[in-house]
């Protein structure tokens, strides 16, 4: 009871911290002597059943990391407009009145950046009104918070409004770990995972390893928080953080702004980390005050001073790692020695220190002319970022200089935009010739309609303060070389219009003839008075669930369609399946469900399914996207799948290694299931995709003997042996496939599987949602 957890002052913990503290007490009972990192404290304090996860799956709680299956109960879910569509459609199929935990929807990905904020926003709303209306009506019906187009980018809005130290959140976007700057554990997931949390079911995660980054010293000169993660990405590479949480610690942490910490956490996604986290610092408290959440500072103080289990001082819940906590690996970065970096092109881990960039550009024959500099986005649009940029702009204006390259600014939220406007920074940015884009993702996600005459196919270089730089990511032009840097470096180089300019050492010519050299940037960590809220029309819509609201989906829509539940598994083994296609080589989630123009159909399963496996290579013919019907007629793979679906012919796909690598894209599992896939048989699977298949009721099997891949062919008839028993025995038992060849020959192919107890239940029910909607 709250009264039992009161202070001498009579102050009690808020319900969130009540729960956190109660679970933490359970964690300490199980792991009495273990020193925990901060990430572990928060993560394990969100377990559904502490003992079950930490003890029974491990030997005495000693080998949790990398081994235990954690069944977690997150505090909230945040969704962006592109991924929210399928998440909400799945949630709706559960027939619940409201989500079990708070949730928010953010309209940010669908707005194209082109001519400037006002025009772009109007055009974006007009082009996507159907999707926005759907999202808003769903928000009203289920009592989710709705942030309209123009309100801001999900991660900035979440940081400003929802992130609180100690929370565990899921976000349907890979940069959700941005909120780790404010001491939360926030993990990017697919829509089906989000729905599990929304219906109140435990969400499963293999216990991550903990990668420690020790920061010492203090940033100086041109170095910024962005350079911490740019430098780290160079060391870890795009896969170095896989399966790990990155936890920052050390004296240097105290010297960083809260928003700087968030920038670093945001880009942990670029090294594949599960999430990233910083401890609570004075900067966290200052940010909470600036965002008008002073009450949260009191609550944190209350929790941190509340007597812990056994009332010993070191058993209190502190928003930092226990002294002596062990990390699986530690990387040290001395901030005082850190140099600005520029990463790219085409991959975020190709890191070059600024002092060497000029030489690398010339060696590699990259374009020396810079066509555009873009600052802001969810990664780098903080008050600190923008006021540091402002210091450069003012100096350059005094010298009579204007940017020589296109200069674009994307505020992360209406709140930051309005505050910059109030404090005069926006005037400086626009006065310098900067084009203010809407508070939305825009050029960061390919939603950039360039007006600067750079045509598709033209080789050119751009520099952004964003987080990702895959080929074609910004303007859809594969010939645009996209480099990542801090907003300050982007700005200075935009003035030079050159990729070989080093603002630390080089000068620019001025109208007066006197060479101009930038001083190192300086700015304010946050506004002197709390942030402005901005335009009321861009504020949040927040209301209780209203079951009377009709969710807006037109029956004639080609972008949205209600989901019908998948039928349950038959009460027997599967018989009469046919191999639709045998594919060879890499088969990523992009191969199975392409992105790009197909993003438009994310809320329409029948329409997006027409891209299924459309870049897969047929192992028997070497052709891309070719499959053959039993009469020998040639079709595209999705066409044949649709034909077979219409005929009631269920099927399986045969593939090679690491099937489904890439992203957590749930469409890659939903689409085959929708078209009639019952089994996917491979040499191996990417872990997340394998799980996604099971969640949608498809059985992933691997060859016990890889050589059997050569024995099975498209069109073969397949029956399962032992599958139904295995599912009924909660995942225990072996499965074989009886394959009837076109020649009449019968062969038996032994397989392996990794179906757990829960997953067997999902498959039997037809999908995870079928089961969850019954049980909650």
Q: Catalytic one among 28, 46, 76, 109?
A: 109
Considering the complex, state which of residue 447 and residue 770 has its C-beta at the smaller distance from ligand SF4: 447
Nearest residue (CB) to ligand SF4, 447 versus 696: 447
**Contact (Cβ atoms closer than 8 angstroms) between residue 188 and residue 176:** yes
Q: Which is nearer to ligand SF4, 408 or 644 (CB)?
A: 408
Report CA-CA distances (Å) from 736 to 569, 725, 765: 17, 12, 21
Q: Is residue 490 a contact residue for ligand SF4 (CB under 6 A)?
A: no
Closest CB 410 distance from ligand SF4, rounded Å: 7
Q: Rounded to the nearest 5°, which phi and psi values hold at 291?
A: -95, 20
Residue partners of 421: CB distance under 8 A and separation at least 6: 427, 532
Which residue, 468 or 689, has its beta carbon nearer to ligand SF4? 468
Q: Please say if 506 is a catalytic residue.
A: no
Whether 155 is a known active-site residue: answer no
Site string for ligand SF4, 564-583 (x = CB under 6 A): --------------------
Which listed residue (13, 135, 138, 154) binds ligand SF4 by CB under 6 A?
154
Q: Is 663 one of the binding residues for ligand SF4 (CB under 6 A)? A: no
- Rounded to an integer, what distance in angstroms lies between the CA atom of residue 726 and that of residue 759? 11
User: How many Cβ atoms from other residues are within 10 Å of residue 615's Cβ?
Assistant: 16
Judged by beta carbon, residue 13 or residue 258, the one nearer ligand SF4 is 258
Query: Which residue, 75 or 270, has its beta carbon nearer to ligand SF4?
Result: 270
Check the CA dihedral 36-40-44-45 and report its sign. Answer: positive
Mark residues 443-482: x for contact with ligand SF4 by CB under 6 A, - for none. -xx--------------------xxx--------------
369, 388, 512 from 509: Cα distances, Å: 16, 22, 8
Q: How far is the CB of 532 from ligand SF4 (least distance, A)?
A: 21
Residue closer to ligand SF4 (CB basis): 114 or 467: 467
* Residue 665 is among the residues annotated as catalytic for this protein: yes
Q: Let me know: does 338 contact 231? Beta carbons within 8 Å.
A: yes
Angle at 655 between CA 649 and CA 656, to 5 degrees: 170
410 Ramachandran zone, left/alpha/beta (phi>0; psi -120 to 50): beta
Q: How far is the CB of 269 from ligand SF4 (least distance, A)?
A: 8
459 is catalytic: no
Q: Give the total of residues touching ligand SF4 (CB under 6 A).
A: 15
- Reading the block at residue 326, the tokens are 């062990």
CB of 602 to ligand SF4, least distance (A): 14
Q: Of 676, 661, 659, 551, which Cα lies nearest the Cα of 606? A: 676
Q: What is the phi/psi pair of residue 752, to 5°?
A: -115, 160
Catalytic choice (75, 81, 173, 227): 173
Q: CB 595 → ligand SF4: shortest distance, Å?
A: 12
Locate 147 and state its tokens: 């942030």
Q: Which of 128, 377, 469, 773 binds ligand SF4 (CB under 6 A)?
A: 377
Residue nearer to ligand SF4 on the CB measure, 378 or 416: 378
Q: Which is nearer to ligand SF4, 263 or 498 (CB)?
A: 263
Give least dist CB 321 to ligand SF4, A: 28
Closest distance to ligand SF4 from the beta carbon of 230 (Å): 15
Per the residue annotation, which of 53, 114, 176, 663 is the catalytic one?
663
Catalytic residue, chosen from 46, 93, 106, 108, is 108
Q: What's the rounded Cα separation, in Å, for the pair 755 and 723?
A: 11
Among 46, 231, 341, 468, the active-site one is 468
Exactly one of 302, 405, 441, 485 binds ligand SF4 (CB under 6 A); that residue is: 441
Q: Is 592 helix (H, G, I), strand (E, B) or coil?
A: helix
DSSP alpha helix (H) spans, 165-257: 191-198, 225-236
**Annotated catalytic residue 93:** no
| From 33-41, 110-118, 147-155, 684-692, span contacting ligand SF4 (CB under 6 A) | 147-155
From CA 107, how far away is CA 623, in angstroms rounded? 39
Q: Within a 10 A sphere around the Cβ of 596, how many other Cβ atoms?
A: 11
Query: Which residue, 37 or 438, is less far from ligand SF4 as judged by CB?
Result: 438
Residue 605: CB minimum distance to ligand SF4, A: 23
Based on CB atoms, which residue is closest to ligand SF4, 61 or 344? 344
- Residue 134 CA to its chain's centroid (Å): 22
Residue 416, SS3 per DSSP: helix
Do 192 and 204 touch, CB atoms closer than 8 A?
A: no
Q: Quick check: 82 binds ligand SF4 (CB under 6 A)?
A: no
Active-site residue flag, 363: no
Tokens of 76: 């909230």
Report 97-126 residues binding ligand SF4 (CB under 6 A).
108-109
Residues with Cβ within 8 Å of residue 553, at least 6 apart in sequence = 134, 560, 561, 562
Positive or negative CA dihedral for 104, 563, 672, 678? positive
Q: Which of 71, 665, 678, 753 is catalytic?
A: 665
> Min. distance of Cβ 224 from ligand SF4 in angstroms?
18
**Residue window 308-347: x/- pattern of binding to ligand SF4, with contact defined by CB under 6 A:** ----------------------------------------
Look-up of token digits 């990702």: 468
Residue 153 sits in the site that holds ligand SF4 (CB under 6 A): yes
The closest of 160, 141, 55 to 95, measured between CA atoms, is 141
Which H or E element spans position 735? strand 735-740
Q: Are 156 and 444 in contact (CB under 8 A)?
A: no
Taking CB under 6 A as the criterion, the residue among 71, 175, 450, 694 binding ligand SF4 is 175
Least CB distance to ligand SF4 at residue 393 (A): 22
Q: Are 207 and 66 in contact (CB under 8 A)?
A: yes
- C-beta of 82: minimal distance to ligand SF4 in Å? 9
Tokens representing 159 are 């940081």
Contacts of residue 118, Cβ cutoff 8 Å, sequence gap at least 6? 438
Q: Smallest Cα–Cα separation from 376: which of 530, 276, 508, 266?
A: 266
Among 28, 155, 231, 450, which residue sits at the site for ligand SF4 (rule: CB under 6 A)? 155
Q: Residue 83, interface with ligand SF4 (CB under 6 A)?
A: no
Q: Is 378 a residue that touches ligand SF4 (CB under 6 A)?
A: yes
Please compute, for residue 52, the number of CA atoms within 13 A of its CA located in the half-sphere on the CB side: 10
Q: Which residues are catalytic?
A: 108-109, 173, 468, 663, 665
Residues near ligand SF4, by CB under 6 A: 108-109, 153-155, 173, 175, 377-378, 441, 444-445, 466-468
């Amino acid at each position: 009871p709250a009264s039992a957890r009161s202070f001498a002052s009579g102050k009690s913990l808020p319900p969130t911290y009540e729960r956190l503290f109660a679970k933490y007490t359970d964690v300490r009972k199980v792991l009495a002597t273990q020193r925990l990192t901060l990430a572990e404290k928060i993560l394990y304090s969100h377990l559904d059943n502490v003992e079950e996860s930490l003890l029974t799956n491990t030997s005495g709680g000693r080998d949790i990391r990398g081994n235990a299956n954690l069944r977690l109960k997150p505090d909230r879910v945040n969704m962006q407009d592109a991924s929210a569509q399928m998440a909400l459609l799945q949630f709706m199929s559960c027939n619940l009145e409201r989500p079990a935990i708070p949730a928010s929807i953010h309209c940010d990905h669908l707005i194209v950046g082109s001519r400037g904020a006002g025009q772009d926003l109007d055009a974006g709303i007009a082009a996507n009104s159907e999707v926005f209306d759907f999202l808003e009506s769903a928000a009203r019906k289920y009592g989710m918070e709705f942030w309209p187009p123009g309100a801001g980018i999900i991660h900035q809005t979440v940081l400003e409004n929802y992130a609180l130290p100690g929370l565990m959140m899921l976000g349907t976007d890979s940069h959700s770990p941005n909120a780790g700057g404010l001491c939360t554990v926030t993990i990017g997931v697919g829509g089906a995972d989000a729905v599990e949390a929304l219906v109140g079911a435990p969400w499963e995660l293999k216990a991550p390893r903990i990668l420690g980054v020790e920061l010492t010293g203090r940033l100086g000169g041109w170095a910024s928080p962005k350079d911490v993660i740019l430098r780290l990405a160079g060391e870890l590479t795009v896969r170095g953080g896989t399966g790990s949480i990155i936890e920052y610690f050390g004296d240097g942490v105290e010297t960083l702004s809260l928003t700087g910490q968030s920038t670093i956490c945001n880009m942990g996604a670029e090294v594949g980390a599960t999430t990233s986290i910083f401890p609570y610092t004075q900067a966290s408290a200052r940010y909470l005050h600036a965002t008008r959440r002073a009450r949260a500072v009191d609550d944190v103080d209350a929790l941190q001073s509340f007597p812990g289990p056994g009332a010993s001082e070191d058993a209190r819940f502190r928003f930092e790692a226990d002294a002596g906590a062990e990390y699986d690996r530690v990387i040290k970065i001395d901030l005082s020695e850190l140099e600005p970096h520029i990463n790219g092109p085409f991959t975020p881990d190709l890191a070059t220190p600024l002092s060497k960039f000029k030489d690398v550009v010339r060696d590699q024959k990259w374009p020396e002319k810079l066509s555009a500099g873009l600052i802001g986005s969810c990664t780098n649009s903080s008050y600190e970022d923008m006021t540091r940029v402002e210091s450069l702009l003012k100096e350059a204006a005094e010298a009579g200089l204007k940017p020589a390259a296109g200069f674009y600014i994307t505020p992360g939220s209406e709140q930051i935009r309005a505050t910059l406007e109030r404090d005069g920074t926006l005037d400086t940015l626009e006065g310098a010739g900067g084009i203010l884009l809407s508070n939305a993702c825009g050029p960061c996600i390919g939603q950039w309609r360039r007006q600067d005459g750079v045509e598709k196919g033209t080789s050119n270089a751009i520099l952004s303060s964003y987080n990702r730089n895959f080929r074609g990511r910004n303007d859809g032009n594969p010939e645009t070389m996209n480099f990542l840097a801090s907003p300050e470096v982007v700005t200075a180089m935009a003035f030079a219009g050159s990729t070989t300019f080093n603002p630390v050492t080089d000068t620019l010519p001025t109208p007066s003839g006197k060479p101009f050299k930038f001083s190192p940037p300086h700015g304010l960590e946050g506004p002197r008075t709390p942030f402005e809220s901005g335009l009321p029309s861009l504020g949040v819509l927040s209301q209780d669930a209203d079951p009377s609201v009709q969710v807006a989906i037109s029956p004639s829509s080609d972008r949205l369609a209600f989901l019908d539940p998948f039928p349950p598994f038959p009460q027997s083994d599967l018989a009469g399946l046919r191999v639709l296609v045998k594919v060879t080589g890499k088969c990523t989630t992009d191969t199975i469900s392409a992105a790009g123009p197909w993003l438009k159909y994310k809320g329409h399963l029948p329409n997006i399914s027409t891209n299924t496996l459309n870049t897969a290579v047929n192992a028997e013919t070497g052709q891309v996207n070719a499959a053959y019907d039993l009469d020998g007629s040639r079709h595209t793979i999705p066409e044949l799948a649709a034909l077979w679906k219409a005929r009631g012919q269920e099927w399986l796909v045969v593939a090679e290694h690491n099937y489904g690598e890439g992203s957590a894209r749930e469409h890659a599992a939903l689409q085959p299931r929708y078209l009639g896939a019952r089994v996917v048989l491979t040499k191996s699977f990417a872990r997340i995709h394998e799980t996604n298949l099971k969640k949608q009721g498809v059985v992933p099997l691997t060859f016990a003997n890889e050589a059997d891949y050569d024995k099975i062919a498209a069109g073969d008839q397949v029956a399962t042996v032992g599958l139904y028993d295995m599912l009924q025995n909660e995942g225990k038992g072996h499965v074989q496939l009886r394959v009837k060849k076109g020649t009449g020959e019968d062969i038996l192919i032994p397989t392996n599987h990794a179906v757990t107890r829960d997953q067997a239940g999902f498959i039997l029910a037809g999908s995870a949602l079928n089961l969850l909607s019954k049980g909650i």
